[in-house]
Amino acid sequence: MFDEISFDKIKRLPKYVFAAINEIKLSMRQNGEDAIDFSMGNPDGPTPEHIIDKLCESARKPKNHGYSVSKGIYKLRVAICDWYARKYGITLDPNTQACVTMGSKEGYVHLVQAITSPGDSAVIPDPAYPIHYYAFVLSGANVVRFGLEWNEKSELCVESFFAQLENALRESFPKPKFVVVNFPHNPTAVVVYKDFYERLVAMAKKERFYIISDIAYADLSFDGYQAPSIMEVEGALDVAVETYTLSKSYNMAGWRVGFVVGNTKMIDALQKIKSWLDYGIYTPMQVASTIALNGPQQCVQDIARTYEKRMEVLAQAFGEAGWELQKSRASMFIWASLPRQCAHLGSMEFSKRLLQEAKIAVSPGVGFGEKGEGYVRIALIENEKRIRQAAKNLKAFLKQF
C-alpha cells in the first residue's frame, strides 16, 4: 500500500556504518560473551557528585517542573559567558551570543537546518564525526571534502589544510558558504594552535564563508597541550560559532547539555529554530549545568588525566602485543593505522574479526569517511585492567597473521 510514496529525505542517510559492529557486540552479549568495548566515545565515569547534588536539590522545587526556555535559562547562558571569560579571556553577550542546546549534536544539526538551504555548499574535511557531514546532507546541501593531514605529533598539517581549502573554494560551484572544523579532532585526535584559527578567520572574511567550530574535546588535552578556542581570535565573532558539550568534560553524556556561542546572526537563527522545535532542557539539569561550569574544575582535570593514563597504558600494552600506535595529544581517542600484517583486511573486516576473535570492539575508520580507511578509532572508555586484558587477547589474535 502506498508504495509509490517514498520518503526521499531519510534515504539520504545510509545504513549506519558502525551498525555491523554493534550487531556483533549485541549478539555476543546475548550469548554471555564479554566484549572489551573501545568502540564508542561514551564516557564511562560518573558525573561529579556536586553536579548531581544540585540536580536533586533543584528537582525538588515545583517551580522547576514546567516547560523551560528553549534557548536555555538566562542563568546558564550567563554561566557559559563567564566560563568563556575565565577560560579564554573573551566577552560574550548571554542574550545574543549564546544558546543552550540538547547536547552539541542537537545544537549542530538544528543550527545547520536553520542556516542552510537546499543547494548550499559546505566544506568538511575527511575523516569527520559523521553528523558533521550528514547534517548538511539532510538539509539538502552539498558537501565538499578533502583529506585531513597531520604530522607525527598529531598536529594538523596547516599548509596542506589551507591549500586544499583554497582549492575547494575555488573549484566548487556554488561557492561554499560554510566550513566545519573540529579540533581536537574526532576521530583522529589531531590538534591545532591559535594561529590556525587566526588564518581561518582571516580567510573566512576574505573569501566570505561562515565557520562552525566544534570543540567537544577542548578540555581533554594532555602532555602540556592546551586546546585553543576560535573565539580567542579578534574578529571571530563576525564569522564563526563554536559548539561545546558537557558530555565529555564533566562525564555528562546522558544529560544532553551543550551550547553554541559566537556570531549573533547564526545564534539568532539557532535560537529561532529552537523556539519552534523544543521547550528547553529540564530546568533542574540546566541549574546543575550552571554549577558544573561555575564550580570547581578539578574534576575536569581528573577526567582528562584518566584518559591520558589509559592512553599511555594502551599504547604500551598494544605495542608490546605487536600493534604500534601513535599516541594522542588530546581527546579520548587513539587513531590507529591497522597493524601492518592486517592492512589487507581493510578497517571494517579487521574490526569485525578483532571483535569476533579477540573480543575487542573498535570503530572502523571507514565509518568516518573514505579517508578513514586503513585506520580504526580506539575510544579510551575501558579501565586499565581491561586494557591489559585486551592486549593479551590482541597478542593471541595477531599470531595468526
Ligand X SMILES: Cc1ncc(COP(=O)(O)O)c(C=O)c1O
Nearer to ligand X, 133 or 222 (CB): 133
Could you say whether residue 364 binds ligand X (CB under 6 A)? Answer: no
Could you say whether residue 214 binds ligand X (CB under 6 A)? Answer: yes
Stretch in the footprint of ligand X (CB under 6 A) among 92-100, 103-111, 190-198, 286-294 = 103-111
Nearer to ligand X, 252 or 321 (CB): 252
Using CA atoms, how far apart are residues 326 and 313, in angstroms rounded to an integer? Answer: 13
Instruction: For residue 361, give the H/E element and its range.
Output: strand 360-361
Stretch in the footprint of ligand X (CB under 6 A) among 63-71, 99-107, 169-177, 234-242 = 99-107
What cell does 204 get? 573566512
Chain Cα centroid distance, residue 133: 12
Nearer to ligand X, 240 or 321 (CB): 240
Least Å distance between CB 311 and ligand X? 16
Which of 322, 326, 362 is CA-nearest to residue 339?
A: 322
Could you say whether residue 369 binds ligand X (CB under 6 A)? Answer: no
User: What are the C-alpha distances in Å from 271 to residues 9, 253, 268?
Assistant: 24, 22, 5
Sign, CA torsion 213/338/162/174 = negative
Backbone angles phi, psi at 68, to 5 degrees: -100, -150
Using CA atoms, how far apart are residues 185 and 126, in angstroms rounded to an integer? Answer: 11
Could you say whether residue 41 binds ligand X (CB under 6 A)? Answer: yes
Stretch in the footprint of ligand X (CB under 6 A) among 2-10, 43-51, 245-253, 306-314 = 245-253
Residue among 43, 94, 103, 369 that touches ligand X (CB under 6 A): 103
Number of residues that bind ligand X (CB under 6 A): 13
Residue among 164, 182, 229, 289 that touches ligand X (CB under 6 A): 182
Using CA atoms, how far apart are residues 155 and 172, in angstroms rounded to an integer? Answer: 27
Stretch in the footprint of ligand X (CB under 6 A) among 24-32, 43-51, 98-106, 300-308 = 98-106
Amino acid (one-letter) located at 150: W
3-state secondary structure of 400: coil
Instruction: For residue 121, give the H/E element and its range.
Output: strand 121-123
For the segment 117-156, give every residue that binds ligand X (CB under 6 A): 129
Using CA atoms, how far apart are residues 169 and 303, in angstroms rounded to an integer? Answer: 39
Residue among 98, 169, 216, 355 that touches ligand X (CB under 6 A): 216
Could you say whether residue 333 binds ligand X (CB under 6 A)? Answer: no
Backbone angles phi, psi at 330, to 5 degrees: -165, 175
Residue among 48, 94, 176, 258 that touches ligand X (CB under 6 A): 258
Least Å distance between CB 63 and ligand X? 27
Could you say whether residue 377 binds ligand X (CB under 6 A)? Answer: no
**From start to end of 30-177, where are the E strands?**
36-37, 98-101, 121-123, 142-144
Report the interface residues with ligand X, using CB under 6 A. Answer: 41, 103-105, 129, 182, 186, 214, 216, 245, 247, 253, 258
